[in-house]
Amino acid sequence: MRWLGLIGQDKLAALSLFLVSTTLLAGLFAPFLAPHSPEEVHMELRFAAPSWEYWLGNDPLGRCVLSRLLYGIRPSVLWVGVALVLSAGIGTIAGFAAGYFGGAADAVLMRICDGMLSFPGYVLTLAVIGILGVGLENILIAFALMKWAWFARVIRTSVRQYADSDYVRFAKTLGFGNVRIMARHLVPVALPDMAVAASSAFGSMILQISGFSFLGLGIQAPHAEWGMMLNEARTVMFSKPELMLAPGIAIILVVSAVNYLSDSLQLALDPRLAASRRAPRGRTVAGSAKLQGSEVA
């Protein structure tokens, strides 16, 4: 777990990791942490200010904003993670098959990926929603169908660099099976690219599902979701703008933490980037000056 220690050296990266982990745990244990039911309506408490019983106040239907915020983690983050694992799994299998075997398998799979990537992601998602209908499940299916080609491209490029290396050829000479060779020799070298690609896609998928829910194409009422909470507060955004703060800040914080954690993860898993970052600035400047002097001479 060397990468975890390297991330811990960066205070902002450690804070991002803590924020993402806390968010995931809060969504997982939302039934135990939420003070009220997220769907419980109290019209006498509509637009109520924060209090000891309702820490973040009440929405236009008198529902607890804090409870809905906690339950909104599930579709906004946890279920997005499930779709990410599914699409990354499909893309990993396709990428390894194309990068390791090459030939016809590589040509066919990459042409399919080219066809999938030729369409903007939002257009494909809207097409799937138009065919299957609105709802969280259909958006997650659209994510799985949309993202796997991007993962396959990234992983294929990473695997292709080492598929013809000497140690892979030596393993084939010894009679090792293809699955064993890929698991033992290619997965470790492709794992950094897989982790960085997955973490960078995670933030964009959170934004996308929140955006579709804001447009009314995602999870439907009365279930809680951050984008839907923004849509519900939009009608009173000028008279009660504070109702947009909780879900808006939650989306900004989580997506920013995921994106920064992705950059830190790439730095921790890539030895070349880590070495360049650890190099003293003065030594780098002196080395470049020495190089320039030798070129002039």
pLDDT in tens, 188-223: 888 878 888 888 889 889 998 888 888 888 888 788
The CA distance from 244 to 204, in Å, is: 20
Asked if residue 192 has a cis previous peptide bond (ω within 30° of 0), the answer is no
pLDDT for 290: 42
pLDDT for 19: 93
Query: Region 40-69: what's the mean pLDDT?
Result: 90
Judge whether residue 286 has pLDDT over 70.
no
Choice among 36-40, 88-92, 119-123, 281-285 with the minimum mean pLDDT: 281-285
Helices marked H in 120-186: 121-132, 136-160, 166-173, 178-181
CA dihedral (208, 211, 213, 218) in degrees, to 10, reads -30
**Res. 294 pLDDT band, cuts 50 70 90:** very low
pLDDT for 287: 47
| pLDDT winner (highest mean) among 216-220, 221-225, 243-247, 276-280 | 243-247
pLDDT for 278: 54
Q: Which residue has the tokens 């509509």?
A: 46
Burial class (CB in 10 A: 0-12, 13-18, 19+), 188: exposed
Judge whether residue 269 has pLDDT over 80.
no
Judge whether residue 288 has pLDDT over 80.
no
246 versus 283: which is more confidently predicted? 246
Query: Region 16-27: what's the mean pLDDT?
Result: 92
